[in-house]
Structure 1
Amino acid sequence: MARNIEWGCGAANRPTRVSWVSVACFAHTLQLAINDGFALYLNREISAAGKLVGHFNHSTVASKALQKKQEQMGLASHRLIQSCKTRWNSVCEMFDRLVEQRWAVAAVLSDRTVTKLQDARILELKDEYWQLMEETQHVLRALKCATTVISAEKDVSISNECKLHLVQSAEFVSSAPMLSAMLDPRHKHLGFLTPAQRVVANMKLVELGEAVETGQEAIEQAGGHVDDGSANTGAAAATQASAMALLLEEQYSTQLDTGIDTEVNNFLRDTPPPLDCNPTDWWKVNGRRFPRLAKLARQYLCIPAT
């Protein structure tokens, strides 16, 4: 289905009707990458660990013996977790639990009143398997955390995707996810990029901002408030300002620079909100201060990451 949609978007692009860019589902892409890694490096370990966990989950004798060993060794009374092919996170959970209960499991397997010698030889994991499970714990936990973030019920904008990317190509710096991250007040400083990459990303944002219309309509769309004072008051203020300008000459003019460069610089200098802040709520409050960027934010922050 996804390929059909992507092909349809490509067909729509060819007659120059629209200029849609295909953005892959990040969660699905991450899952495919992790499964490829499992197939290349961890298939044997996952299979062997699954057999070991299955033995304890299906044997009442082994399960009770494990509980006794946990009490004797002062370990937490936790059941072993079986992995599921459709949930790669379960591999991380299975490895974590096995590493936690390693010595209790080994004690049960070495007890001939509980486990037969023939079964123990089949179920016991090699030292290299245990070592590999310990070494991959940090990586799998980080990937599990990334999956949790991207699968949340709220605030799943594509702006959250950039900090989770493990590989950042030159094209990625000016891509939709990166621009969305720049427009997200939480991630705008792009601390995960090199200084040179940040310069390129900022230039791309300025380039897009130059094409955005400004004025009263843009300010209203950005959530700003337009003063509804009387015409006489406005005329008096204009006359007073003109007289002041004539009196103090142009070098004392108080007219603000509203160029896109200034707007981007002011936005980047602004204190970022906490990570649990909803970026759309932030723009509702601050849209009037950055009207061009607010319009871009509405276009990019609405793109879902998954």
Structure 2
Amino acid sequence: MSSPVWNFFKVSEKDLKLFVCKTCNMQIPRGGNQPRQFNTTNLIRHLRTRHTTEYGYEYEKQARIPKTPVTQLTINETFRRLEPYSRDSKRWRDITTKLIEFIGLDEQPLSVVENTGFRRLISFLEPRYAPPGRKYPTDVCLPQLYETVYTHIDRLMKDNVTSISFTTDIWTSSACPMSMLSLTAHFIDPNFQRHNLLLHCQEFTGSHTADALAGAFGRMFESWSIPRDKVHAVLRDNARNMEKAMRDAALPSLPCMAHTLQLVVSEGVLSQQSISDMISSGRCIVGHFKHSPLAYSRLHDIQKQLGQTTRKLQQDVPTRWNSSLYMLQSLLEQKHSLSAYAADYELPCSFTSNQWKLIENMTSLLAPFEELTQQISSSSATAADVIPSIKALTRLLEKTADSDHGVKTSKTTLLEAVQRRFADIGSENLFVVATILDPRYKERYFPDHLKPHLRDVLRDVVAALPGHGTQQPISLKACGSKSPQKKKSAASSVQAMFAELVDENEKLRAEESPLTSQINLYLSEPLTPHSGQPLAYWQANKERFPALAEGARAYLCTPCTSVDSERLFSTAAHVMDEKRNRLTSKNAEMLIFKKKNLPFMLEN
């Protein structure tokens, strides 16, 4: 903070070693010949002796700052401040807590605390802190932080959950002989914020039978004290053991939409011999470059000569149909480069002009499936997207396009597979009600003759939700409806009938239940844009449609895929890699649990 003395003096323009008093223009020495010797002592003395008024009322008022006494540290205190922190000190515990958070959030091995580079960094940043060995974070810090995060997640669920959905999957590590079973929870809080939390990623030993899976799920739900009546749905894959396990555990379940699309494409396109041979040839071409740096170098030189961006070809994964699409697209993109390469060098196989055309048409045919897969795999996708997405995909496959040449049979087979695999979605109440409660869709994707029945289904489902009886009904007056007018004396019998018909209609409207009124008003309003956010709509309209808003919290929390569980295993693969292949299953679960859930606690 600058001294208030500068309000009364300025530096001389002729000699920097002098001050000039703004009141009397007297020149006063600054206290030395070098800048480091300059001070304000002479200035304060000048104010005291020559300008008592200014000094007494102005300077002292501005300089009235509490002064802290300066005390010199004793020798013992000085040495004590150089001593390393004891493990009982708050500073040491706080740094260690941040250290274990760093290990969990950045997927670092617990042994990082013993690495030379890490210890040198810590010693430079805080010389008084001595990091513990790996045993202390493993045995003490990790369980303590796990319990802290567990308590936070448990409280978050108990305070906000009225209905909850789950996703689950099984993963086997390639680094060690361990399989893990996951369970992630999805719910919407009263402020219409979506929460996706990891509850379990535990070791699953033995055979993956339906009985073993059902028992594991039962224990998972018991450990979190989750009532079965709050379980809305569990998203799973299409495996028969998983489907039977859900039935045996008395858990409502739905198949993952992304897995079903995988089956549709596999049996509708990839199972055809001509397509399968074409993909196999593409796999050989990509493999040729993957296993030969020299071949890749030559291909890159050709790409530069042709003015193309140097890109690598993509290898496919047989269990992911879209990876085969990416491979074909990368081959098609490098068509001219590959042709030039084949003119000078040997390739294990090549495509004919008809095959190149088939690849082009096949990528066009599968592009909508890839677009749909990306949409339903987003974190905001819900069960409400299933029926509209399949309706749109079916209509697209029914249309004729110029790119159908050579793939008409595949297109027909795809359409049949879609219709067969998704035949039951229209009879699944969860999909139906979720679609209606999404303001982007409502009942517009259903046939007209079913719409009256759909309103009855929505009314019955919402009325059965817990706490519906406490909702305040929306008033017809607030919605702009006019109050019925009194019956006037009719001038003729026909006029009397007019009035009687109007009165009967008003009586029927008056007898409508508050919930029915909410449903009718909600469905009569225009749809929100497809790019809109359904939860933002319900947050803004929960006062107008209180009962329907509770229904939206229950039904829009359900995802349409089990992608969250699959993404979880990417984290598991980083935690259980070749450097940590001896990590116990208990410590692995705590590290994964902390990695996925700790950010939710830090946000608060």
- TM-score by length of structure 1 reads 0.72
CA distance in 2, matches of 1:138, 1:88: 14
Residue 264, structure 1, aligned to residue 501, structure 2? no
Residue deviations 1:116-145, cap 9 Å, x none? xxx44x421133321221011123222222
Q: 1:83·1:94 contact (CA, 8 Å) conserved in 2?
A: yes
Residue 94, structure 1, aligned to residue 327, structure 2? yes
Partner of 1:44: 277
Of structures 1 and 2, the one with the larger relative CO (CA 8 A, separation 6+) is 1
Partner of 2:426: 173
CA distance in 2, matches of 1:77, 1:67: 6
Residue 294, structure 1, aligned to residue 549, structure 2? yes
Gaps of 5+ in 1: 14-19, 227-244
Residue 150, structure 1, aligned to residue 376, structure 2? yes
CA positional deviation for 1:45: 1.0
Residue 205, structure 1, aligned to residue 455, structure 2? yes
Q: 1:225·1:288 contact (CA, 8 Å) conserved in 2?
A: no
Q: 1:99·1:133 contact (CA, 8 Å) conserved in 2?
A: yes
Q: 2:300·2:310 contact (CA, 8 Å) conserved in 1?
A: yes
Residue 161, structure 1, aligned to residue 386, structure 2? yes
Structure showing the higher helix proportion among its residues:
1
CA distance in 1, matches of 2:365, 2:441: 23
- The amino acid of 2:263's aligned partner reads L
Matches within 5 A, 1:1-306: 3-10=240-247, 22-36=253-267, 37-41=269-273, 42-111=275-344, 115=345, 119-120=346-347, 122-152=348-378, 154-165=379-390, 166=394, 167=418, 171-175=424-428, 176-191=430-445, 197-201=447-451, 203-210=453-460, 212-213=462-463, 218=468, 258=513, 262-306=517-561
Partner of 1:242: none
Aligned CA distance change for structure 1 residues 46 and 74 (closer, same or farther; 3 Å): same
SS in 2 for 1:110: helix
Aligned CA distance change for structure 1 residues 63 and 211 (closer, same or farther; 3 Å): closer
CA positional deviation for 1:40: 2.4
- The amino acid of 1:180's aligned partner reads A
Gaps of 5+ in 2: 1-212, 214-235, 395-417, 475-482, 489-502, 562-604
Aligned CA distance change for structure 1 residues 199 and 263 (closer, same or farther; 3 Å): farther
CA positional deviation for 1:220: 5.8
Residue deviations 1:143-175, cap 9 Å, x none? 2222222222x2231111223324457753342
Q: 1:209·1:296 contact (CA, 8 Å) conserved in 2?
A: no
Q: Return the index of the structure with the highest Cα Rg.
A: 2
Q: 1:160·1:305 contact (CA, 8 Å) conserved in 2?
A: yes
CA distance in 2, matches of 1:147, 1:55: 30
CA distance in 2, matches of 1:136, 1:292: 47
Stretch moving more, 43-52 or 262-271: 262-271
How many positions carry a matched residue from both structures? Answer: 267
SS in 1 for 2:272: helix
CA positional deviation for 1:48: 0.2
Residue deviations 1:8-45, cap 9 Å, x none? 554577xxxxxx75421112212222222312252111
CA positional deviation for 1:209: 0.4
SS in 2 for 1:23: strand
Q: 1:69·1:108 contact (CA, 8 Å) conserved in 2?
A: yes
SS in 2 for 1:297: helix
CA distance in 2, matches of 1:259, 1:94: 56
Q: 2:473·2:546 contact (CA, 8 Å) conserved in 1?
A: no
CA positional deviation for 1:92: 1.3
CA distance in 2, matches of 1:260, 1:170: 31
- TM-score by length of structure 2 reads 0.39
Partner of 1:238: none
CA distance in 1, matches of 2:423, 2:241: 28
CA distance in 2, matches of 1:159, 1:171: 15
CA positional deviation for 1:108: 0.6
CA distance in 1, matches of 2:389, 2:457: 25
Q: 2:473·2:515 contact (CA, 8 Å) conserved in 1?
A: no
